[in-house]
Structure 1
């Protein structure tokens, strides 16, 4: 009995830095931009390469765990994660930091399925397992939600590299405890790994994302070709999965309207969560001069609402059923985005916190609704495959949230900034790329010109931020109508039969 709970403690300890690293850099953007002279494109890659790599590798790493045992997978994943954390902490260029973050994603892709497999093998009693899963879920959601606050606290007292360096002692403790306490498992050498398929998927995602990001600033024939190649690889991947006898992703599950709709909900909810945190962290620091810690504290109502929204969402689903609650979650997200688009974050604090709290609860409703819908729609023997797909949708949504919100912001910022007339023509492109690059540029100019440039950049960023939030609200409004239409009436019918 004692060993069970020790294994749970080890799993929680290793899962915490994995979940925190998904969002901890959001408040570190200004500091990183200044320290490494990051362009807008490089900044987006530093943040979202972690989730994109993790999304593409999480399924085959789960299969690898079945093949070698979750203990070995956890040890290998923890070692890679620890080494990548050390590498990221001392990276002295954008390229090195991006590579380190990619390796962090690889380690995390091993750790996440290893922790779930560890819970499944350790807690054979269903009630105990549900309790352990509840703790696991709380750690994951809480870690991601409070990542910006932790990042702000660290940056208030230490250099940005400490954000990664704190992972190293945790990883060392986990490796020792895992080797000492966690029992060995039987391996299944016949388990297919699908590593080639995973590499095709990751490469396709990165090529498409790279082409779109780069084309926003430097449109060229090469970017078109890269996009076509990436898109072709994605299409080829899907076609292969549909005909393969051992597919990495069971696309037949998407034929069920409840499952396909729920996957879309999970992905879009993560896009909203991560994208909004990213934009708000930049505005608070670049425009209003908040410190990283102050920015993290400002976002606290959003984090708390996400953390405590689960019981509220469960009550609503038990009382009213899936379809109306899922639609309500999407609709509330739309309303909160529209409200935030018209809010001045530096003067209307109560209004901003109220809208953020509503959005946090809405996102949690969407996430919980999607999970409940998937688990109720699939047969028991398909539950693991469906859960793995949902986990991939979470990570892909996090990566896409950074990319989509960041690209939209860059697009509107470049078209709305009115650069000072006396700014040299060769510097206009830099000033128009992003507010971070404008801030870096202002340090090289005389005080008067720097002041005018910062004012222009702040106004353009605020206007662009409002436009992006308005677009997000419109998308969620459309999605709420789609969710109401797409979710099968059988869901509500089944609920009424079970009452």
Structure 2
């Protein structure tokens, strides 16, 4: 048989049945990294571009009846992905991880197209945007729940940490790129914020369908655990919705934790999650095998990951408010451009992670995850503590160095911890294990935002009204108007600063501003009035947040230390090279 005939016979074999090339692992890594990068860019890209988006659909996100739209545009994507990850991971284990990863790419791209083409304006336009973000979140859930499992399947153990480190870098890099990209694109047109994902999504979808292969054997005759899926998804959703609305003021209180609906959501959410655990212990084919938590590395890794996510999940938001509400205006930046510059000034965080992420993954492949993940958490705890001693109007070099330290600590922790978790579970459980890992991580971020915003708000509520009242009266605002402004919920000022608005321009009525002398009006709306007023009250809540983060990192370090030593089955170099060469020959025949 000649070579041409052999090639024809190989081509007639369906691609899914051909031997897998050693180069396939790099195809899997690059495609899943692209998917994770795209999903995380879109999780943060709206943070900077929200003012332009709402302006484009003619909505005032700070109006009393519109704050719900603001919250859901801010957190809806994260809530959807966090609550569906475990379900998607389990379904993927049963029916094919690559199949549902590919589907996620397609759904995400459809969601991006719908967002770009949003036809309506006003309240209907806001609802459409939120709904289409949910579609994106569903696609992102499939991508995030399967990317780590696909990489773990494709890479041998001695390269797994490095590969997962690259993937984790994409996740962190995407969240920072989203801030900068959102600021740049929204300067031209708010629709570009969503259009940017469309060509990447189309190319990634085609590439995934053409090149990715199922390398894991799917189990036969397993039933879908409907009650487990329903109780987990509904319980997690209701719980996270309660946490989301806990940020909003209620009935004269600066936060919503006393709102009966919030309390009811928290109670019902915990009840449903308790029912989920009860169900999972009794069904023959559970959605998630709780026995995985008997694996020391899996339990310790997820515990430390959840605590680390709480510690750093709200960090981005707190730093954005700090920069946009105080530091950037004091240094002469107009409020309208502070969102973009806040993203740029946080680049040292990304650089630290970029440098340490792959290095720690490569080292953990050789020496185990425990020393690097534990040391990473200790470095982050020190970084959070140093933020408490930094003046709010700081010299940037010190702020940048602390951010770099936090990035190094995060990079040192993330990839070894992920590799440890994913390498500790049976091959057939990797999809649901990846989903559970991502759920802990994403849920921790949402809990972090709720808790951090509440601490900041309560800190402001304690002293800001008096400070604001005295400052407004001294600036020429009538006492009755000043008193009304001073007793508005502190979230009004926080949300305004977060969205890149001048809080004074949003809080003071136009009729009160227009009767002031030009010099007084310029003072109130200038770069220094609001930052100087809010600095001391804001510092109280901000320091509480950083102390809590440092404590969480220390507990996470202890949990990481308890994971035990990783055992390695190091391949024989000669046999491995021989295997690579033989697989190369097969690939060349294809």
Instruction: Give your verdict on TM over 0.5.
Output: yes
- What residue in structure 1 maps to residue 105 of structure 2? 78
- What residue in structure 2 maps to residue 201 of structure 1? 232
Q: How does 1:473-488 map to 2 (within 5 A)?
A: 473-479=546-552, 482-483=555-556, 486=559
Question: What is the aligned residue count?
Answer: 493
Q: Does 1:170 align with 2:200?
A: yes
- What residue in structure 2 maps to residue 26 of structure 1? 47
Among 111, 133, 147, the residue aligned to 2:143: 111
- Distance in 2, matches of 1:230 and 1:104, equals 24
Residue range with higher mean Cα deviation, 25-34 or 9-18: 25-34
Give the drift of 1:267: 2.0
Deviations 1:365-395 (A, max 9, x none): 3324533553576567766654442222222
Q: Please say which structure displays the higher CA radius of gyration.
A: 2
Equivalent pair of 2:353/2:411 in contact (CA under 8 Å): yes
Q: Secondary structure at the match of 2:287?
A: coil
* RMSD of equivalent CA atoms: 4.0
Deviations 1:132-176 (A, max 9, x none): 656544433432343222223323x32333222211222223344
Give the drift of 1:258: 4.9
Equivalent pair of 2:239/2:265 in contact (CA under 8 Å): yes
Among 29, 37, 55, the residue aligned to 1:16: 37
- Distance in 1, matches of 2:203 and 2:359, equals 36
Relative to structure 1, the CA distance from residue 29 to residue 353 in structure 2 (aligned partners, 3 Å threshold; closer, same or farther) is: farther
- Distance in 1, matches of 2:560 and 2:221, equals 38
Unaligned runs of 5+ in 2: 1-20, 251-257, 330-334, 470-478, 497-502, 569-590
Q: Which has the higher helix share?
A: 1
- Distance in 1, matches of 2:407 and 2:174, equals 15
Among 234, 237, 243, the residue aligned to 2:273: 234
- Distance in 2, matches of 1:369 and 1:72, equals 27
- What residue in structure 2 maps to residue 340 of structure 1? 387
Residue range with higher mean Cα deviation, 305-314 or 229-238: 305-314
Deviations 1:431-477 (A, max 9, x none): 63332344562475216587648877545654455334423443344
Q: How does 1:29-428 map to 2 (within 5 A)?
A: 29-31=50-52, 36-39=59-62, 42-70=69-97, 72-89=99-116, 90=118, 92=121, 93=123, 94-116=126-148, 119=151, 123=154, 135-155=166-186, 157-179=187-209, 190-194=221-225, 196-215=227-246, 217-218=249-250, 219-256=258-295, 258-287=297-326, 288=329, 289=335, 290-311=337-358, 313=360, 325-344=372-391, 346-374=393-421, 385-418=432-465, 419-420=468-469, 421-423=479-481
- What residue in structure 1 maps to residue 254 of structure 2? none
Equivalent pair of 1:337/1:470 in contact (CA under 8 Å): no
Q: Does 1:441 align with 2:441?
A: no
Equivalent pair of 1:65/1:73 in contact (CA under 8 Å): yes
Equivalent pair of 1:48/1:403 in contact (CA under 8 Å): no
- Distance in 2, matches of 1:477 and 1:247, equals 36
Residue range with higher mean Cα deviation, 137-146 or 261-270: 137-146
Relative to structure 1, the CA distance from residue 425 to residue 96 in structure 2 (aligned partners, 3 Å threshold; closer, same or farther) is: farther
Q: Secondary structure at the match of 2:481?
A: coil
- Distance in 1, matches of 2:558 and 2:208, equals 48
Give the drift of 1:278: 1.5
Deviations 1:193-238 (A, max 9, x none): 4455334323223322333443551143333333322221122122
- Distance in 2, matches of 1:132 and 1:251, equals 27
Residue range with higher mean Cα deviation, 351-360 or 394-403: 394-403
Residue range with higher mean Cα deviation, 403-412 or 6-15: 6-15
> What is the TM-score when the length of structure 1 is the normalising length?
0.81
Give the drift of 1:107: 1.0
Give the drift of 1:314: 5.3
Q: Secondary structure at the match of 1:23?
A: helix
Relative to structure 1, the CA distance from residue 195 to residue 356 in structure 2 (aligned partners, 3 Å threshold; closer, same or farther) is: farther
- Distance in 1, matches of 2:69 and 2:504, equals 16
- Distance in 1, matches of 2:563 and 2:28, equals 40
> What is the TM-score when the length of structure 2 is the normalising length?
0.70
Unaligned runs of 5+ in 1: none
- Distance in 2, matches of 1:200 and 1:148, equals 35
Equivalent pair of 2:45/2:179 in contact (CA under 8 Å): yes
Relative to structure 1, the CA distance from residue 252 to residue 151 in structure 2 (aligned partners, 3 Å threshold; closer, same or farther) is: same
Give the drift of 1:299: 0.3
Deviations 1:280-322 (A, max 9, x none): 2233234423433322110000111112122554588689976
- Distance in 1, matches of 2:231 and 2:157, equals 37
Equivalent pair of 2:307/2:552 in contact (CA under 8 Å): no
